Structure 1
Amino acid sequence: MTELDELDRAILAALSRDATQTAAALGGRIGLSQPATWRRIRRLRDEGILVGQRVALDAQALGFGVTVFLGVKLATKGRVSLDDFERAVVAIPEVQLVEHVLGLYDYRLRVVARDLADFERVLRRRVMTLPGVGDVEANVLLSEERRPGPI
């Protein structure tokens, strides 16, 4: 495991808030030169700690007013049904997140839809027809107080 010092943590926190900032701007904020900041960023990437860059989209602004978390329990278990389910569920554009979990359900999905009628269409025509689907539980997101951030 890689040892991270306070400067590494400051770099990770700053990049998680805004990954578009330059090494010079970031270095200025944390008290490092641009080359030293760039070397640390490169090391964090090389060690697999920094992985990719993402853009956060506002689902509401894009017309997706409903977010639903689905707990999906597969009717049949086995490597084939897991692979078949995973391959099919990631092809559904409204499914934003697929998590294989341990507990009452086998998978947790984050699904966005324009409204409840649109969600019902996605649930009935796409999710419920996936290979191996058994029980499904839906939880509608009312509000989100904190977005995922740095660990």
Structure 2
Amino acid sequence: MPPCAPTALTSSRTAGSRRVYSCRPPHDDRAPAVVRGWIAGLLGASRARSLGEDLALVATELVTNAVRHGAVPTRVSLSLTDGSHGGRVRLEVEDGGAGFASDKVRPADADSSACGGRGLHIVAALACDWGNAKAAGRHVVWAELAADGVEG
């Protein structure tokens, strides 16, 4: 799988009205910015551009968590689904870590003076739905956002 690049279309596939793009960002502090640039490049030519800021923020939170708490390799997938009543964008961030029990991946009760601990609250507020799964030594956290006209 290719690294994330803002101007290059990374691996993609189409299934009916669903387009799936994926890339492998670096597993370090550069990852959130790299993924934001990649998403901006994918959405730049589509009518889903208005979704970009919320999606970029959700991606930043999920990728940061994967880098901070997960293991290499990290993979990011973005699915765009067209629908008769609007579309949906699904972001998946996968890492090589064992993950946490699914009931443990939830917004924490953050101290108002703490520097962190609010990321999943932001994800929950912006996403229509979100969750996580473990399978075969991999951990995936995903979020879905509604989008009008996600056609690319």
TM-score (norm 1): 0.32
Query: Greater helix share, 1 or 2?
Result: 1
Structure richer in strand, relative to its length = 2
Structure-2-length-normalised TM-score? 0.31
Higher Cα radius of gyration: 1
